[in-house]
Amino acid sequence: MAEMDTSSGGGHKKGPGVKKGKKLSTRVDLTPMVDLGFLLVTFFVFTTTMQQSTAMKMNEPKDDNPEEQMKVKNSGAMTILLGRANQIYYYYGQLDVATLSEQFKSSNFKDIRGLIVEKKKATPMDDLMYIIKSDSSSTFKNAIDILDEMSISAVPPGHYAEVDISPAEALMIKETETANGIK
Amino acid sequence: MPKVKIPRKSTIVDMTAMCDVAFLLLSFFILATKQKPPEVLSVATPNSISKEVAPDKAIIITMTKDGRAFLSLGDEIKKGEILDNINLTKGLNLSAAEMAKFNKEEFIGLPFNQIKSALAMPTAPNPADMPGIPVKDSANNELVDWLRSVTNVYAGGNQNELQDMLLIKGDNESLYPVFKNIKFAFKRNQIYKFRIVTNGQPVPVGSELYNKAVAEKNK
């Protein structure tokens, strides 16, 4: 395959004074070329399969009519608020003016998983409800990440919902942010 | 006893065949992989554990870092009909030639009142310089009109098919209100199911979902 027929066929002899040219083999060592070929193949295989966009399902509630809103038990509710600079704030049950500072706690995306699981284990499944509220200073990434956290913690659909933030909560976030020095 | 002679064989193997195979594979992979279209709008999508692959045939709403919204209708979508519908319902007064030009644009990112003048220009503006479809608040949300045209065109068809095509592709750093306004546009058109384009990532080890999957496997 790789060699060519270079013999001047028929054994025709040249004249006596003519020196015979040394016959060089035309066989080339193809090993490096094979190496290179497979190297490129592996490179392409690895680089092409890495990037794959996926699609995450989103289900929005049908209506924002407050009268039709689901009633949630105080004992089973955990409200997660998304704030500026990837900060998370949360409280259990309903915000009470008297115990506001005790109820309202800060967290972040690292610790929230533990808190979600803790709440899930401590609450009967029927009462469990996570209410997610995003502040206008939070990012799209935060909103998607927290929904992803819900699926990571295997919270069944219907036990978490996105709700618009109330002015009082937005104010609480703002005050906490200024107190913590988050810009 | 006569000695058994073992003929010495050369250890050189002909590499030609292997070389052929290697390059055949190489050319196959190069030709078989789909080239990613050059990204005019750079968007870094968030991560999620979702395993569903984003469809190629899609109606994508792109949300950039600075909060602009763009609509892109894929090649296999009834793009012409959607554009016709918007031309009619919003009274854009586009001529057939202008419509043909409009149809060629990949991203739609102009308010209705700027479309005609932009199409009159000899070269189409770069999507990166466009102001985006206005989605500021519920009163001034032109995406509602765009999505209405989409639902008009697909009305009577398979609604699940339409749902599978609707995608939001947002940048990590775009602010939540923009996303909320895009969701508003969907809801206004009675679309409650859509999907978000994300980067796939494995389920974190030790998480609830991971443990559940392991438990099911061991069953």
Q: Out of B47, B172, B194, whose CB is closest to A139? A: B172
B65 assigned to some structural domain:
yes
Q: Out of A53, A62, A64, whose CB is closest to B54? A: A53
Whether the Cβ atoms of residue B198 and residue B47 lie closer than 8 Å to each other:
yes
Of B174, B190, B188, B200, nearest to B62 by C-alpha is B174
Euclidean distance between CA atoms B158 and A61, whole angstroms: 21
Domain of residue B96, residue span: 47-199
Q: What does the pLDDT read at residue B76?
A: 64
B100 assigned to some structural domain:
yes
Say how many CB pairs under 8 Å bridge A and B: 162
Residue A170, helix vs strand vs coil: helix
Residue A65, helix vs strand vs coil: coil
B69 assigned to some structural domain:
yes
Dihedral (Cα; B183, B189, B191, B196), 10-degree rounding: -30
Written as tens digits, the pLDDT of chain B (219 aa) is 677 888 888 877 788 888 888 889 888 888 877 666 666 777 777 887 877 777 777 788 888 888 788 888 776 667 777 777 777 777 777 777 777 777 777 777 778 777 777 777 777 777 777 777 777 776 777 777 888 887 877 777 777 777 777 888 888 888 888 888 888 888 877 778 888 888 878 788 877 777 888 888 887
pLDDT < 70 positions in chain A: 1-20, 48-52, 63-70, 182-183
Binary contact (A55, B196; C-beta < 8 A): yes
The token pair that represents A36 in the structure block: 């290179």
B217 assigned to some structural domain:
no
B120 assigned to some structural domain:
yes
B57 assigned to some structural domain:
yes
Q: What does the pLDDT read at residue A9?
A: 47
B36 assigned to some structural domain:
no
The verdict on B180 touching A (C-beta cutoff 8 Å) is yes
Q: Out of B16, B50, B193, whose CB is closest to A59? A: B193
Residue B90, helix vs strand vs coil: coil
The verdict on B183 touching A (C-beta cutoff 8 Å) is yes
Give the chain B residue nearest A40 (alpha carbons): B26
For chain B, the domain total comes to 1
Binary contact (A30, B15; C-beta < 8 A): yes
Dihedral (Cα; B49, B50, B51, B52), 10-degree rounding: -160
